[in-house]
Each structure stands twice: as C-alpha cells, then as structure tokens.
Amino acid sequence: MSTISPVGTRTEMDHFVLLMWHAFLVAVFFAFLWRSDARGRKILFAKTFVMMAVGAFLLGWLMYPFP
Amino acid sequence: MTADKAQRAAARSKTEADEEPRPVAKGLLFLAWLVPGLGHWLLGKRVRACVFAAVVFAAFVTGVLLDGELAVPQQNSPLSWFFAFGCLGNGVLYLLRLLWANGLDGLFNASFPYGLQGGGDPVAAGFFYGKTFLYTAGLMNLLVVLDVHDIARGDKN
C-alpha cells in the first residue's frame, strides 16, 4: 500500500506543461553543468530545450500510426 | 647544453607536479550529496550552487506533488537497488520523503532496508510523471557530486 501525498490524488494535469517544465529544468541543469560562460550557457540551454521539446513533439506524431 | 637540459627537465617536472590532481575530501562529497548545491557553495561556486539546488529541489517537489513514488530496495529484486541508488541521489530530500511516508518506526522496521514505502499514489494520474521527476532529480544531484569532485580535484573550474 502506498500513501497519498498531502496534495491528494490528482485527476487532471497538463502533459504538455509537464513536458516543458521537465525540459526546462534539465536544460538549465546541463547548461550550468557543462558551460562556464554566460553565452555558452544560453546557447546550450536553447539547444537542449528545443531538442527535447521539438523531439518529444516529433516522437509523439511518429507514434500515431502505431497502436 | 647540460644546464639547458637540466633546466628543461626541472620545468617539466614542475609542470607535472602542477597538473597532479589534488586529493578530494570525502566529507565534501558527502555534503554535496546530502544537500544539493552545498558542495559547489563550499567551493565558492555560489551561482552554480544556487542553480543546482533550485533545479534539484524543483524537480523533487514536482515529483512529490504529482504523487510520484521514490524507489526503495525490494527483496528478490536486484534492479530495485539500482533504482533506489538513483533516487538516493536526492540526498536529504530522499531521506525526508521516506521519513514522511513511513514514519520513524516504519523507517527502521525489523526488515530494514526492505519493506519501506516510497510514498506516492499508484492510481494518481501523475504517478509515472512524478516518478520521472523524482528519478531525474536524484540523477542530476549525482552528476552534481561528480562535478564537485572534478572541481575539488582541479580538473575543472
């Protein structure tokens, strides 16, 4: 048996917002981990974020034909 | 000619000595694991410390709010140890969440480390998303610990 968190069981959520939030956090993290200058961080953040967001969209569409 | 050679040899050995990796305090790595961002803070990397702490904390809290479950060791499931190790990367956040979900008595039960609850609600809509956030937070903090190790060793600025 698992316990229920203080906010309770959620029945509604926005998958897209969660995807963007996750991509944002991971992109910020790797930008600061792998780059030490401001410009390099901005570029890596943008690349990582766009790749994750657009990649997820593409994968989602590609999965349509499959059951 | 000989003096020149000796000078070059001395310069080479000095450079090699400069490039020698510095020893890393185990306590620093422990603190870096325990509190996300603390390792960087102690090394004087304040901005990175704040960012890493904020990112790991935000991912962890999102996972908890989505009713995600932390991985805990399970009997006859070696893979569960692997997942638990990933989640254990959250440091004090992992320990507090387990304390919240199990209580002090439940945490140190007779079959410790088995029989623990990872929290969360399996029927919640965000259960698997929550798990993803929790695992991501743990793995990110493990990378932060490795980064602290590299900085302390002198391999990275």
User: What burial class does residue A7 get, using C-beta atoms within 10 Å of its C-beta: 0-12 exposed, 13-18 middle, 19+ buried?
Assistant: exposed
pLDDT of A10 strictly over 80 = no
- CB within 8 Å: A2 and B140: no
Q: What is the pLDDT of residues B7-52, one digit of tens each?
A: 776 666 655 556 677 887 899 999 999 999 999 999 999 999 999 9
Q: Give the per-residue pLDDT at A4.
A: 47
The first and second tokens of residue B142, run together, are 């493990």
pLDDT, one tens digit per residue, over A41-65 is 999 999 999 999 999 989 988 988 8
Highest average pLDDT, of A54-58, B58-62, B151-155, comes from B58-62
pTM of the model: 0.83
What is residue B35's DSSP assignment? Answer: S
Of A13, A14, A32, A49, which to mutate for an interface test with B (greatest number of B Cβ within 10 Å)?
A32
Q: What does the pLDDT look like over B82-96, one tens digit per residue? A: 999 999 999 999 999
Taking CA–CA distances from B123, the nearest residue in chain A reads A9
Cα separation, B145 vs B90, whole angstroms? 11
Q: What is the DSSP letter of B120?
A: S
A59 part of contact set with chain B, CB < 8 Å: no
Contact predicate B130/B66, CB 8 Å? yes
Gap between the Cα atoms of B135 and B56, Å rounded? 10
pLDDT tens figures, B106-115? 877 767 788 8
- The span from the CA of B8 to the CA of B110, in Å, is 66
Residue A28 has pLDDT above 70, yes or no: yes
| Residue among B117, B129, B144 minimizing CB distance to A2 | B117
Residue ranges with strand state E in B28-100: none
